[in-house]
Structure 1
């Protein structure tokens, strides 16, 4: 009788070890893919942030904003601020990094747009 119980226990133990190794493998794969996912997020954040820089430089150098919509930049700036808040809540470094830089640039452009609109109105 003990031998029968021992063989059942060995089967149960081997099943547990199999599942433990499977879970361990799954966790390892999740960690590896999480690093890949984080890297993907940072690359995306860098690309979108860098793409915004030329517009900001042009506006800040020339002061020219007639072709830019104040409504669009207001909504865009608000949206970026919300993405930044979301990134903080989720503790997502890529979102925080990209949206902090983009928010600063968007505020600078929005400031210049509003400034130009006010000066245009005062000249009339």
Structure 2
């Protein structure tokens, strides 16, 4: 018998764009913010849904100014210093869209992709 070493991908998530969903919020990491070229200018977010091949697709549109049905973006900070990353928090709406996964205590990561200049699609 000859043993083969199983290769393990060493990825910590820092190099991939993702959103963590849970606790009634969406947390976008720094790489996701880079996709929409966020420099701290986005203040609001709209949650978008669409149908594709009978499946619901969810996206987030980032805005600099308030528009109808917006949620205020919260900025992440460490030791009082703002760092790159955005949080969209609205427990009722997140639960409506993502069900119990949207409000559970743990967070689940989903990749995101840029679909327009200021819109990230959540890939399930």
TM-based fold match above 0.5: no
Of Structure 1 and Structure 2, which has the larger fraction of its residues in strand? 2
State the TM-score, normalizing by the size of structure 1: 0.26
Greater Rg by CA: 1
